[in-house]
């Protein structure tokens, strides 16, 4: 398995059980190169002039993309990048990011995209943990990398994308390489290094919201498994499609949507580096996007754009999917009423690479439910004793399929997540008689009050429908009688003032919409809700309830 040292992957007894139900998964050769499969073969099949990447007003055909990939790949090889060497990326979703991905994989390297929002300490942790040999970095993101540079133990090459002529001259004086010079000076031929289907090809690191970022290893075969499963059976992708996703390539959802799925089918990907509601609408219209993959928060922000349904031409859209957090029945219904489109919710993890539960699998939505397992995966809900729950009973979500959890250099974490071959997703859910999953909360966020188990999202979803509320976060706080009581942190809309009367009004507002035992017992107004980085930048991603719990403990 390349040059990955013994012990960097979990011991075999802690591996998940791989299940290859679909015939597509069983047909892969034992050795192949994913770039060759996704790019070279499309060009060989006569699709070289079809668009592969749409970015701003640029249209990059498959033939041109492959040409840049080969040149960069041969230049990287000339720098001494060998099979299984780790090459990191620090860049937003721009064409050079995708060129780098395909070039690294073509020469047999391991691609490691990182969040542009990582701090100096996070960069050092990830680069040293993965033993990164080279990094390709956008000029706009170089400052934090340079701060981390003294702590980087294995880094040999810094390759810079963009920058002014003056900046580029400075970079060269510092010993850095220029991305464009490597592409321009590379040989047009680049032989693919074919690796075992179970060789590690991509490393993705979790966002670090619960401690240092954790590395998750992904095998060569996943570049085909994700398109052949979700892409084929949920999105039904064809070469005529244009897939639009604002998720960064450093996230599993973003990587799959912009770096694997489109190219398996000869389709195009529409990328843009930073989400805004109006920008997303313009992108759909200008690039004639047919498939939209976005966070629920993005759909809610887009829904708030006045007159969007009349101002923008969205007639090209045929599929809308969402994931990353709970969509909610209200968001689904609001979007469908305004735009006439259904949103097919989905659930996946960084560890499992992409969505493995989605209503897109059946094209039948139950508002408020995520949906059933997609073709090729099995899911079940288990209690604390590990026994399967009955329909409607709350338990832990576990999954099994052609992808699975593989932590990099962290056997303790692996042991806590993979049990008897099944991968724990970390979510508390229920399953109905039809196999549809209903999300309650992350395991850590579940509130246990007077014997009841309460998922905070249900209460948050009600609170944010109040006319005065901009955002809400619900946590359990210690209570001597109930064990925990439900407390809501509320961020009010601009111009609204917090008061004791409004607190009582919000509690009354929840009555009849959630069960009595779920009602918030306490409300606190705060200026800003703690959220992780998202496609729109800091504070636009998942709600960080642990920060609210820490605030309460403090």
Specify whether 171 is located in the same domain as 267: no
Specify whether 305 is located in the same domain as 209: no
How far apart are the C-alpha atoms of 225 and 243, rounded to whole Å? 18
Q: What is the pTM of this model?
A: 0.87
| DSSP-derived 3-state class of residue 116 | coil
> What confidence tier does 520 reach under pLDDT thresholds 50, 70, 90?
very high
Specify whether 178 is located in the same domain as 292: no
Average pLDDT in the chain: 93
Rg (CA), the chain: 23
Q: How confident is the model at residue 540, as a pLDDT?
A: 66
Neighbour-count burial of 63, counting CB atoms closer than 10 A to its CB (0-12 exposed, 13-18 middle, 19+ buried): middle
Span 319-345, average pLDDT: 91
Which residues span the domain enclosing 31?
25-223
Name the domain count of the chain.
Answer: 3
How far apart are the C-alpha atoms of 293 and 243, rounded to whole Å? 8
**Could you tell me which residues are beta bridge partners of residue 321?**
293, 344
Specify whether 107 is located in the same domain as 170: yes
Considering the domain boundaries, does residue 480 fall inside one? yes
CATH classification of the domain holding 468: 3.30.300.30
CATH classification of the domain holding 120: 3.40.50.12780
Q: From its phi and psi, is residue 551 left (phi > 0), alpha (psi between -120 and 50) or beta?
A: alpha
Considering the domain boundaries, does residue 84 fall inside one? yes
Beta pairing class for 355-358 and 343-348: antiparallel
Are 210 and 542 in contact, with CB atoms under 8 Å apart? no
Specify whether 35 is located in the same domain as 162: yes
For residue range 231-254, list pLDDT tens digits in order. 999 999 999 999 999 889 999 999
Q: Among candidates 27, 41, 88, 96, which has minimal Cα distance to 68?
A: 96
Q: How confident is the model at residue 538, as a pLDDT?
A: 60
Considering the domain boundaries, does residue 4 fall inside one? no
Eight-state DSSP code of residue 387 = P
**Could you tell me which residues are beta bridge partners of residue 240?**
none
Specify whether 371 is located in the same domain as 257: yes
User: Which H/E stretch holds residue 381?
Assistant: strand 378-382
Q: How confident is the model at residue 483, as a pLDDT?
A: 76
For residue 427, report the phi and psi dihedrals to the nearest 5 degrees: -115, 145
Eight-state DSSP code of residue 178 = E
Considering the domain boundaries, does residue 19 fall inside one? no
| DSSP-derived 3-state class of residue 114 | coil
Span 357-383, average pLDDT: 96
Specify whether 254 is located in the same domain as 363: yes
Beta strands in 391-494 (DSSP E): 395-400, 418-419, 422-431, 437-442, 447-449, 452-454, 469-479, 483-492
Q: Tokens for 74, please give them.
A: 């041969």
Considering the domain boundaries, does residue 123 fall inside one? yes
Q: How confident is the model at residue 209, as a pLDDT?
A: 47
For residue range 434-453, list pLDDT tens digits in order. 999 998 888 888 887 876 77
**Could you tell me which residues are beta bridge partners of residue 388?**
382
Specify whether 106 is located in the same domain as 199: yes
Q: Among candidates 140, 122, 38, which has minimal Cα distance to 112?
A: 122
**End-to-end alpha carbon distance in the chain:** 47
Specify whether 409 is located in the same domain as 265: yes
Q: How confident is the model at residue 1, as a pLDDT?
A: 40
């Amino acid at each position: 398995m390349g040059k990955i040292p013994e012990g960097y992957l979990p011991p075999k007894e802690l591996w998940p059980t791989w299940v290859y139900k679909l015939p597509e998964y069983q047909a892969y050769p034992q050795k192949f190169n994913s770039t060759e499969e996704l790019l070279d073969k499309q060009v060989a099949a006569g699709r070289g002039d079809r668009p592969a990447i749409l970015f701003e007003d640029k249209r990059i055909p498959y033939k041109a993309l492959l040409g840049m990939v080969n040149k960069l790949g041969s230049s990287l090889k000339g720098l001494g990048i060998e099979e299984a060497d780790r090459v990191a990326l620090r860049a937003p979703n721009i064409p050079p990011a995708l060129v780098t991905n395909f070039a690294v994989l073509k020469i047999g390297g391991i691609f490691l995209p990182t969040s542009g929002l990582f701090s100096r300490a996070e960069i050092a942790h990830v680069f040293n943990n993965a033993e990164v040999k080279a990094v390709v970095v956008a000029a706009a993101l170089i400052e934090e990398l340079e701060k981390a540079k003294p702590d980087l133990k294995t880094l040999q090459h810094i390759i810079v994308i963009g920058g002014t002529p003056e900046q580029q001259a400075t970079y060269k004086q510092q010993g850095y390489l220029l991305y464009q010079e490597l592409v321009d000076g590379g040989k047009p031929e680049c032989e693919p290094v074919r690796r075992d289907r179970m060789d590690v090809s991509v490393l993705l690191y979790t966002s670090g919201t619960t401690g240092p970022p954790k590395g998750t290893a992904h095998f060569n075969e996943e570049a085909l498994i994700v398109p052949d499963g979700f892409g084929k059976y949920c999105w039904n992708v064809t070469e005529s499609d244009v897939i639009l996703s604002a998720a960064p390539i450093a996230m599993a959802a973003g990587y799959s949507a912009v770096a694997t799925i489109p190219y398996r089918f000869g389709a195009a990907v529409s990328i843009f580096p930073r989400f805004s509601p109006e920008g997303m609408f313009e992108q759909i219209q200008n690039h004639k996007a047919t498939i939209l993959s976005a966070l629920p928060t993005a759909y809610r922000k887009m829904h708030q754009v006045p007159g969007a349904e009349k101002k923008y031409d969205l007639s090209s859209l045929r599929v809308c999917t969402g994931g990353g957090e709970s969509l909610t029945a209200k968001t689904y219904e609001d979007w469908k009423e305004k735009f006439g489109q259904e949103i097919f919710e989905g659930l996946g993890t960084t560890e499992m690479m992409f969505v493995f539960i989605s209503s897109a699998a059946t094209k039948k939505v139950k508002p408020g439910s995520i949906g059933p397992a997609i073709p090729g995966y099995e899911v079940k809900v288990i209690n604390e004793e590990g026994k399967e729950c009955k329909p409607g009973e709350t338990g832990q979500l576990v999954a099994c399929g052609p992808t699975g959890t593989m932590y990099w250099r962290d056997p303790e974490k692996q042991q806590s997540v993979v049990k008897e071959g099944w991968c724990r997703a970390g979510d508390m859910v229920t399953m109905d008689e039809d196999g549809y999953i209903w999300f309650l909360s992350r395991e850590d966020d579940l509130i246990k009050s007077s014997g009841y188990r309460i998922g905070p999202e249900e209460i948050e979803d009600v609170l944010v429908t109040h006319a005065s509320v901009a955002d809400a976060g619900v946590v359990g706080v210690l209570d001597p009688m109930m064990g925990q009581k439900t407390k809501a942190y509320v961020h009010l809309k601009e111009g609204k003032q917090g008061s004791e009367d409004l607190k009582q009004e919000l509690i009354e507002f929840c009555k009849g919409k959630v069960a009595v035992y779920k009602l918030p017992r306490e409300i606190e107004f705060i200026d800003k809700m703690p959220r992780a980085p998202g496609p729109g930048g800091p504070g636009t991603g998942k709600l960080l309830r642990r920060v609210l719990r820490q605030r309460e403990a403090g």
